[in-house]
Amino acid sequence: MVPLTVIGTGYVGLVTAACFAEMGHPVLGVDRDREKLNLLRTGTCPFYEPGLDALVAKHVGSGRITFTDDLIHGARASRIIFICVGTPPLPDGQADLSQVEEVARQIAEHADGYRLLVEKSTVPVRTAQWIKRTCALFRRSNAQIDVASNPEFLREGSAVHDFLHPDRIVLGVESDEGRDQLLKLYKSFTCPILVTNIATAELIKHASNAFLAMKISFVNFAADVCERVGADIGQVAEGMGFDQRIGRAFLYAGAGYGGSCFPKDVKAFMRMAEEVGVEAGLLREVDRINDLRIERLLAKLREALWVINGKTIAVLGLAFKPNTDDIREAPSLRLIGRLAEGPARLRLYDPQAMGRMREVFPAVPGRIEYAASPAEAAQGAEAVVVLTEWEEFKTLDFETLKRGMRTPIIVDGRNMLDPAEMAQLGFEYYSVGRPAIRHAF
Ligand code: NAD
């Protein structure tokens, strides 16, 4: 078993730490957020991710995972150090690499002997070269610092499963020692393991995320066309998806992509391409189409309600996707912001993400209210907007929901409900890229 240090215990770092512990390795998690560490030391997961709380509790209990805010200790404790800190976007779209730089510098200043510094954070190509340069500038004379890239492809909501059963593992290495250490660590995995140079590994991650975002924007573009010509995007996507060269995954029209990865990774890839002289119009369009999604949903609300100001609107689903409490770059943030400006009266509900949303939009009686259930949110509402495809929304008691509403209007920003069923229940139903069901009240 190999002692490991994981720096940054957020969505990626904590999953990495817990899963390596589950595989039997002793793991030291380092974070500068003391509040988070206090929770972690009691075995409590600071965010919602199915299955992770049990793993954290188990391995904190067994002593296989320990936590510290002392990066110097982290630098000295293990030969293999995973960097899992944030790489948020700067205002111009470039990735902010200050957290990565700070960690690299501190490790260089304090590590002695061999250290393999593994980028797991999503970083622009050539970041490893900067890490190497930083380490060369700051390292102690007895330190030998090797750098590798091992991009992470997990999805929030199924992160533990994705980490333990990935489609592929990518190892970008520049030395035999680095390659051997990482191959040993991942030897029990049965998926393809791709060993590349570091720039290639960095690029695989950015290209993968940009491609998935492109699929979403493509289907949303096609959905806009469907609406103009009376076609159904669900069937268009199904027809496309049977083609094995295309596949069905990510061909779902709706409120667009959000989260802490796609929006920032598309922008960072675009900026990086332009920096090296490659025109990135393709990605600019992917980004622009995604940006328009909220305006398209607002247009549907106007089509249904005429005037939005002063109306009561229930929003079901605040997280950027189901099975997480993460609201970073969630479509709900922009929609709520626009509706609150209106001002509409908002009643919000999400099974997991209301705590985080309250930090951004605190409850204001009569303006923004948080409900204990979908039915409570819909009580007295003139429209319900669905923004996250939580499983529980598929099986709602729509009869009760409708009885509580002032006007039975649903705007389904995820195409998760069946139009025929909604029509039969007596709802006006608007979705994305499918014919609207409108009544003459
Ligand atoms: P996060 O914000 O949840 O976690 C980052 C953690 O790093 C925080 O807990 C922060 O306190 C800590 N940190 C920052 N600077 C530090 C320092 N100097 N010392 C110690 N700790 C420090 O971010 P995340 O969602 O886990 O993402 C991390 C990286 O992984 C990003 O580059 C992201 O793009 C990438 N990624 C994320 C996902 C995802 O689904 N969230 C998936 C794949 C890749």
Q: Which residues contact 193 (CB under 8 A, 6 or more apart)?
A: 168, 169, 170, 171, 183, 186
CA of 13, closest atom in ligand 1: 26
Gap from CA of 360 to ligand 1 centroid (Å)? 20
Tell me the pTM. 0.96
Gap from CA of 415 to ligand 1 centroid (Å)? 31
For ligand 1, pick from 12, 123, 205, 212 the residue to mutate: most ligand atoms within 8 Å of CB: 12
> Does the pLDDT value for residue 407 go beyond 70?
yes
Please report how many Cα atoms fall inside a 13 Å half-sphere around the Cα of residue 140, on the Cβ side. 14
Residue-wise pLDDT for 159-192, tens only, equals 999 999 999 999 999 999 999 999 999 999 999 9
Residue that is written with structure tokens 């689903």 in the block: 317
Q: What pLDDT does residue 71 have? A: 96
CA of 120, closest atom in ligand 1: 30
Q: What is the mean pLDDT of residues 346-371?
A: 98
Which tokens in the block code for residue 92? 């111009």
Residue-wise pLDDT for 205-233, tens only, equals 999 999 999 999 999 999 999 999 999 99
User: Is the domain defined by 205-291 classed in CATH 1.10.10.10?
Assistant: no
Domain boundaries, the chain: 4-187, 205-291, 293-430
The angle formed by the CA atoms of residues 414, 417 and 420, to the nearest 5 degrees, is: 135
What band does 93 get if pLDDT is binned at 50, 70 and 90? confident
Q: What is the mean pLDDT of residues 342-349?
A: 94
> Does the pLDDT value for residue 236 go beyond 90?
yes
Residues in the ligand 1 pocket, defined by CB under 6 Å: 7-13, 30-33, 36, 71, 84-87, 99, 102-103, 121-122, 152, 154, 156, 260-261
Which residues partner with 116 through β-bridges? 80, 146
Gap from CA of 22 to ligand 1 centroid (Å)? 20
CB-based contact 255:293 (threshold 8 Å):
yes
293-430: same fold as 205-291? Answer: no
Catalytic annotation, residues: 261
Distance CA(267)–CA(283), nearest Å, equals: 8
- β-strands 65-68, 27-30 pairing: parallel
Gap from CA of 85 to ligand 1 centroid (Å)? 4
Which tokens in the block code for residue 401? 């929901």
Residue nearest to atom 10 of ligand 1 (CA): 8
User: Is the domain defined by 293-430 classed in CATH 3.40.50.720?
Assistant: yes
Q: What pLDDT does residue 297 have? A: 97
Which tokens in the block code for residue 222? 């096609």
> Does the pLDDT value for residue 441 go beyond 70?
no
Give the total residue count for the chain: 441
**Mean model confidence pLDDT for the chain:** 97
**Percent of the chain whose pLDDT exceeds 90:** 97
C-alpha torsion angle, residues 67, 69, 70, 75 (rounded to 10): 60
Which tokens in the block code for residue 331? 């479509």
What band does 440 get if pLDDT is binned at 50, 70 and 90? low
Residue nearest to atom 30 of ligand 1 (CA): 121
For 139-204, give the DSSP string. Answer: --TTEEEEEEE------TTSHHHHHHS-S-EEEE-SSHHHHHHHHHHTTT--S-EEEE-HHHHHHH
**Which CATH topology does 4-187 take?**
Rossmann fold (3.40.50)
